[in-house]
Amino acid sequence: MQFAFIIDPLASLKAYKDTTVCMMREAHARGHTVWACEQRSIAWRSGDKRGDGVGAEFTRIALTGDDESWYRVLETVPRRLAEFDAVLMRKDPPFDLEYVTSTWLLEQAEREGARVFNRPDAIRDHNEKLAIAEFPDFVAHTLVTRDPQRLHAFIDEQRDVIVKRLDVMGGENIFRVRADDPNRNVIVEIMAANTARSVMAQRYIPEISEGDKRILLIGGKPVPHCLARIPKPGESRGNLAAGGRGEARPLGKRERQVADALGPRLAARGLLLVGLDMIGDWLTEINVTSPTCFREIQDQTGFNVAAMFVDALEAECSAPRGRRA
């Protein structure tokens, strides 16, 4: 099979920890052909010429086991997305207008016959912060608003909260705000951009000290281990990008309960790979753009997450198209 990955620049990927590289290596090891392109290369053209439609400049690569020189470029050619067995959208946020535009173009590619994972409409419809609103039984006290007065009232009520933007990743633009914080006014003002931007405020969950747990769902089924991302001393963010330490652990009863409740519903919408984030017993995010943590779980437990993913991908590519939700 031929798999096309839409990614950040190849040279920017850190093979020693990158989930997309894990996917590519597993696919390559099974004899599949791996192609890559950048989001900025995707374009649509109408007309009646062969090659019209949604396409991009794709680079075919060979994968190595060396984390320093992990790929070799074999060729770069223009191709239509519908020519591949699967197209994998693995571009990192921010989820800005260009990202939304990419989902529109990928939907057109689907109409032309492409199979895209995760499905572009599902990516667009599941904001990674706000998607938890669909599952209130698993969510701690949360508010989404751009009204500073509402934010201040929530802080006064909960006494200790986390405030974060809805469109970024990796722990960026996340603040812990206590009711007596002398900087709360300026934090609220900056985050809500003087009522121009909606933000999320969540009750602070003390169990963050034990880790912000990433639970991976593949084809609606949970990987048996999660990665607890433990904040460094003095931090309230467990994100690895913010200096957190990753510790793989078997899924507990609560993690399995949440995974079993959400997995089939999300998979039915075309979300082949999902990363649930939980702190303590509470669901805090549903990640659908480019969920990570394959490599850390594989290295620490020996469980081949990439193999589970490529198994699911191969099954989707072999299934009749009408089976997809």
Q: Are residues 305 and 259 part of one domain?
A: yes
Residue 86 pLDDT more than 90? yes
Instruction: Tell me: do 298 and 221 sit in the same domain.
Output: yes
Average pLDDT of span 290-308: 97
Collapsing DSSP to helix, strand or coil, 106 comes out as helix
pTM: 0.92
Domain of 17, CATH number, reads 3.40.50.20
Taking 70 as the threshold, does the pLDDT of residue 38 lie above it?
yes
| Residue 197 in this model has a pLDDT that exceeds 60 | yes
User: Cα(130)–Cα(308) distance, rounded to whole angstroms?
Assistant: 28
* Dihedrals phi, psi of 131, to nearest 5 degrees: -60, -20
Does residue 199 sit in the same domain as residue 212?
A: no
Q: Are 14 and 58 within one domain? A: yes
> Has residue 158 been placed in a domain?
yes
- Considering 118, 229, 239, 316, which one is annotated as catalytic? 229
Amino acid at 177: V
Active-site residue, selected from the candidate residues 119, 287, 295, 296: 287
Q: According to the model, what pLDDT value does residue 172 have?
A: 73
pLDDT > 70 in the chain, percent: 94
Does the annotation count 249 as an active-site position? no
Same domain, 96 and 161: no
pLDDT of residue 171: 61
The whole-angstrom separation of Cα 158 and Cα 155 is 5
Q: Is 129 one of the annotated active-site residues of the chain? A: yes
Residues 171 and 214 in one domain: no
Same domain, 103 and 145: no
Phi, psi (5° rounding) for residue 165? -75, 165
Selected catalytic residue, list 25, 79, 164, 295: 164
Residue 48 has pLDDT above 70, yes or no: no
Position 29 in a domain:
yes
Among residues 170, 204, 238, the one where a domain terminates is 204
List 128, 167, 255, 285, catalytic entry: 285
Total tally of structural domains belonging to the chain? 3
Let me know if 237 is a catalytic residue.
Answer: yes
- Of 18, 212, 277, 316, which residue is the catalytic one? 277
* CATH code at position 226: 3.30.470.20
Over residues 300-324, mean pLDDT: 89
State the pLDDT at residue 238. Answer: 65
Is there a catalytic annotation at residue 285? yes
User: Residues 160-170: what's their mean pLDDT?
Assistant: 85
Give residue 323's pLDDT: 44
Range of the domain at 71: 2-124
Give me the helix-helix angle, 305-318 and 294-301, nearest 10°.
Answer: 130
- Residue 244 pLDDT level (bands cut at 50, 70, 90): confident
Same domain membership, residue 150 and residue 70: no
Asked whether residue 160 is assigned to any structural domain, the reply reads yes
Q: Which of 244, 240, 219, 257 is nearest to 293 (CA)?
A: 240
pLDDT given for residue 324 in this prediction = 45
Give the pLDDT band (50/70/90) at residue 322. low
Catalytically annotated residue among 237, 255, 295, 316: 237
One domain, residues 282 and 226? yes
The reply to whether 164 belongs to the active site is yes
Q: Choose between 145 and 241: higher pLDDT.
A: 145
Which among 124, 154, 187 is the end of a domain? Answer: 124
Residue 191 lies in a domain: yes
DSSP 286-319: EE-SS---HHHHHHHH---HHHHHHHHHHHHHHS
Convert the pLDDT of each residue in 212-233 to its tens digit: 999 999 999 999 999 999 988 7
Helices (H) and strands (E) in the chain, counts: 8, 17
Q: Are residues 215 and 198 in the same domain?
A: no
Does 18 reside within a domain? yes
Last residue of a domain, one of 95, 124, 153: 124
Q: Is residue 134 part of a domain?
A: no
The rounded radius of gyration (Å) of the Cα atoms in the chain is: 20
Domain co-membership, 87 together with 154: no
Residue 176, pLDDT > 90, answer yes
> What is the mean predicted confidence (pLDDT) over 148-153?
97
Active site residue: 128, 214, 239, 316, which one?
A: 214
- pLDDT, position 325: 40
